[in-house]
Chains A and B, each alone.
Chain A
Amino acid sequence: MILCAAIILVAWFSTSWIGPQSGREAFLIGMLWVVLTVAFELLAGHYAFGNSWEKLIADYNLFRGRIWLLVFVATLLAPLWAFWQKHAA
Chain B
Amino acid sequence: METEKPRKAPAAAQARRQFLLESARMACGVGLLGIGVGLYAKQAKALPPLAIRPPGALKEGDFLGACVRCGLCVRDCPYDILSLATPDEPVATGTPYFVARQLPCEMCEDIPCVKACPTGALDHSLKDINKSKMGLAVLVDQENCLNFLGLRCDICYRVCPVIDKAITLEQQLNARTGKHALFIPVVHSDACTGCGKCEKACPLPVAAIKVYPTELAKGEPGKHYRLGWVEQQKAGGSLVAPDVPHQYNLPEGMRYEPGKGLMPSEAPPAQPGVPKALQGGKL
A and B co-occur in one complex: no
Q: Which residues of A contact B (CB under 8 A)?
A: none
Q: Which residues of B contact A (CB under 8 A)?
A: none
